[in-house]
Structure 1
Amino acid sequence: MTRDEKSDFAKGDDIPGTDQSSRSSQTQDQPAGVLPEQQKDLEQQPPPAPGPPAIAPPPNGGRVAWTQVLCGFCLFFNTFGILTSFGVFQTYYESTSSPFRRATSDISWIGSLQVFLLQFSGIIVGPIFDKGYIRLLLGLGGFLIVFGHMMLSIASAYWQILLAQGFCVGIGMGCLFVPSISLLPSYFSTRLGLAIGLASAGSSVGGVIYPVIMQQLVEKAGFPWAVRVLAFVSLVTLAVPFTLMRVRFKPAKARAMIDWTAFQDLPFLWFALATAIAFMGLTGYQILFAFYAKEQGITSTAFAFNLVSIYNAMSTVGRIVPNAISDKIGQFNVLAPAVLLTGAVYLCTMATHTQGVMIGITLLAGFFLGVLTAMPPVCLAVLTKDKSKIGTRIGTGFAIISLGTLTGGPASGAIVQRSHPLAWTAVWSFTGACMLVAGSMYAALRVARSGWKPLVKA
Structure 2
Amino acid sequence: MSRSSGELEKDVGSEKVDERGGKERLGTYGIEKDGREAIEPTFAAHDDSPVDNEEHLEEDDHVGAELEPVASSKPSVNNIRSVPNGGLTAWLQVLVSFFLFFNTWGIVNTFGSYQTYYETGILSSSSPSDISWIGSLQATLLLLVGSLTGPIYDAGYVRTLVATGTFLCVFGQMMLSLSTTYYQVLLSQALCIGIGTGTMFIPGVAILSTYFSTRIATAVGLAASGSSIGGIIYPIVFHNLQQSLGFPWATRIIGFIMLATLLLSNALLRIRVLPSQRRKILDLPAWRELPFTFFVAGTFIGFLGLYTPFFYLQSYAIETHLTDPNTAFYLLSILNAASTFGRILPNLLADRIGPFNVIIPCTLLTGILCLCLIPTTSLAPVIVIAVLYGFFSGTFVSLPAAVYVSITKERGLIGTRMGMGFAVTSFGILFGTPICGAILNASGGFADVWVFGGIMTVVAAALISVARVSKGGWGVRIWV
When normalised by structure 1's length, the TM-score is 0.86
Q: Distance in 1 between matches of 2:446 and 2:219?
A: 38
Task: Could you tell me which runs of 5 or more consecutive residues in structure 2 were left unpaired when the two chains were aligned.
Answer: 1-11, 16-23, 27-72
Q: Give me the whole-angstrom Cα distance separating, in 1, the residues matched to 2:288 and 2:161.
A: 29
Distance of 1:49 and 1:58 partners within structure 2 = 21
Deviations 1:90-136 (A, max 9, x none): 010111x3354100100010110011100111231122112221111
Asked if the contact 2:122/2:181 (under 8 Å) is kept, the reply is no
Please name the residue that 1:455 is paired with. 477
Equivalent residues, number:
409
Say which SS state the counterpart of residue 252 (structure 1) adopts: coil
Query: How has the CA–CA distance of structure 1 residues 456 and 255 changed in structure 2, closer, same or farther, with 3 Å as cutoff?
Result: closer
Show the counterpart of 2:158: 134
- 2:293–2:467 contact (8 Å) kept in structure 1: no
**Partner Cα separation in structure 2 for residue 141 and residue 79 of structure 1:** 9
User: How far 1:177 moved relative to its partner?
Assistant: 1.1
Q: Which structure has the larger Rg?
A: 1
Q: 1:52 aligns with which of 25, 41, 53?
A: 25
| Matches of 2:274 and 2:457, distance apart in 1 | 38
Counterparts of 1:32-431 in structure 2, within 5 Å, are: 52-53=25-26, 55=76, 56=79, 57-95=82-120, 97-420=121-444, 423-431=445-453
Percent of residue pairs identical: 44
Aligned-pair distance for 1:444?
A: 1.6
Give the Å deviation of 1:355.
1.0
Counterpart Cα distance in 1 of 2:430 and 2:346:
27
SS in 1 for 2:84: coil
Can you list the C-alpha shifts for 1:307-351, whole angstroms capped at 9, x where unaligned?
111111111110000000000011111011111111110000011
Q: Tell whether the 8 Å contact from 1:315 to 1:368 is kept in structure 2 after alignment.
A: yes
SS in structure 1 of the partner of residue 409 of structure 2: coil
Equivalent-residue separation in structure 2 for 1:392 and 1:132 (angstroms): 16
The 3 A distance-change label for structure 1 pair 402 and 244 is: same
Measure, in 2, the Cα distance between the counterparts of 1:270 and 1:136.
34
1:424 partner amino acid? F
Structure 1: distance between partners of 2:438 and 2:281: 36
Higher relative contact order (CA 8 A, sep 6+): 1
Match of 1:437 in 2: 459
- Counterpart of 2:25, as a letter, is P
- How far 1:49 moved relative to its partner? 7.4
For residues 273-314 of structure 1, the C-alpha deviation after alignment (integer angstroms, 9 at most, x for no partner) is: 110110110122311111111111112111111111111111
2:83 is paired with a residue of what secondary structure?
coil
Shift of 1:254: 3.4
- Shift in Å at residue 448 of structure 1? 1.7
Give the letter for the 1:427 counterpart: V
Structure 1: which 5+ residue stretches go unaligned? 1-46
CA contact (8 A) 1:69 1:198 kept: yes
The letter for the 1-side match of 2:443 is: S
Partner of 1:32: none
Q: 1:48 to 1:181 in 2, by over 3 A?
A: closer
- Higher helix content, 1 or 2: 1
1: CA distance, partners of 2:243 / 2:335: 22
Change (3 A) 1:249 1:87: same
Q: Matches of 1:197 and 1:255 in 2, distance apart?
A: 25
Match of 2:468 in 1: 446
Shift of 1:269: 2.2
Maintained 8 Å contact 1:284/1:413: no
How much has 1:212 moved relative to structure 2?
Answer: 1.0
Question: Normalised by the size of structure 2, how large is the TM-score?
Answer: 0.83
- Partners of 1:130 and 1:392 within 8 A in 2: no
What SS does the corresponding residue of 1:297 show, helix, strand or coil? coil
CA separation in 1, counterparts of 2:222 and 2:14?
42
In the TM superposition, what is the alpha-carbon distance from 1:392 to its structure 2 partner? Answer: 2.4
Q: Is the 8 A contact 1:299 1:355 kept in 2?
A: yes
AA paired with 1:142?
A: T
